[in-house]
């Protein structure tokens, strides 16, 4: 990615974790991060030699001290967080990968802007988890769709990231899955975000291998891993 994009990302994560942008992926922090407010549970993000654990303000201070003393390799282990969660009666949500792209893949013919009312039929064919994880409950700033014989087969959206609509969510009707439509509508959303706002973000749970593969094919660069313990 371009230097200006990397600098923008490091600055955003630096603000989130209250750390200098130059050090954001070189240090371990485990504390209450005001950038996350009163979000429930433990939020963990890592890349390279950097790991940041946002500890809830209600947690025992000894927990933060203990986490700060762990090795990078330990804090980047899913097994460690599974054990951590079980010991506290909590669950791990994730891990997820956040990927970024700043090279315009180009818009897609046939994908058009759609409004919320057009999404009603698609909403009725997916479960609550799919809907939420695709970002639709967050009142997206931009929404796009692809029709097949008059039926909305797939849709993408852009939610706000760092003040601008850059964060992509995709949703495909169950009967249309496995045909590459998430890549199609995701590409269109990415193209819009990059042309208008410099770069796009694609976040997905690692268990969703189809979404990860679509992001890779579009050229997205995996940037950091994150999970929640709640």
Q: Can you spell out the DSSP letters for 86-120?
A: HHTT--EEEEEEEEEE-S-----TTEEE--GGGGH
pTM: 0.92
Domain boundary among 57, 90, 123: 90
Residue 129: give its domain's CATH number.
3.40.630.30
Domain interval for residue 108: 101-223
The residues with which 98 forms a beta bridge, in sequence order, are 203, 224
In-domain check, residue 212? yes
Q: Is 100 exposed, middle or buried (0-12, 13-18, 19+ CB in 10 A)?
A: buried
Q: What is the pLDDT of residue 174?
A: 84
Torsion of CA 177, 183, 184, 188, to 10 degrees: 140
Q: Is the pLDDT of residue 104 over 90?
A: yes
Q: What average pLDDT score do residues 85-109 get?
A: 97
Q: Is the pLDDT of residue 101 over 80?
A: yes
DSSP 8-state secondary structure symbol assigned to residue 37: T
Give pLDDT tens digits for 154-203.
999 999 999 999 999 998 988 788 888 999 999 999 999 999 999 999 99
To the nearest whole percent, how much of the chain has pLDDT over 90? 75
């Amino acid at each position: 990615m371009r230097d200006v994009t990397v600098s923008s990302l490091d600055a955003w994560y630096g603000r989130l974790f209250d750390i200098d942008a130059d050090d954001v992926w070189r240090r371990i922090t485990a504390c209450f991060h005001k950038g996350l407010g009163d979000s429930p549970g433990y939020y963990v993000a890592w890349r390279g030699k950097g790991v940041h654990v946002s500890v809830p303000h209600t947690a025992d201070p000894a927990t933060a001290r203990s986490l700060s003393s762990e090795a990078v390799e330990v804090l980047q282990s899913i097994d460690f967080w599974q054990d951590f969660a079980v010991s506290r009666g909590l669950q791990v949500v994730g891990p997820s990968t956040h990927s970024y792209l700043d090279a315009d893949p180009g818009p897609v013919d046939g994908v058009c802007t759609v409004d919320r009312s057009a999404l009603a039929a698609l909403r009725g064919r997916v479960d609550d988890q799919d809907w939420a994880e695709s970002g639709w409950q967050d009142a997206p700033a931009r929404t796009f769709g692809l029709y097949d014989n008059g039926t909305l087969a797939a849709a993408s959206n852009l939610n706000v990231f760092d003040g601008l609509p850059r964060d992509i969510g995709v949703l495909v009707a169950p009967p249309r899955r496995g045909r590459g439509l998430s890549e199609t509508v995701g590409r269109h959303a990415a193209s819009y975000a990059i042309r208008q706002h410099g770069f796009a973000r694609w976040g997905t749970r690692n268990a969703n291998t189809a979404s990860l593969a679509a992001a890779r094919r579009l050229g997205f660069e995996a940037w950091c891993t994150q999970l929640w313990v709640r």
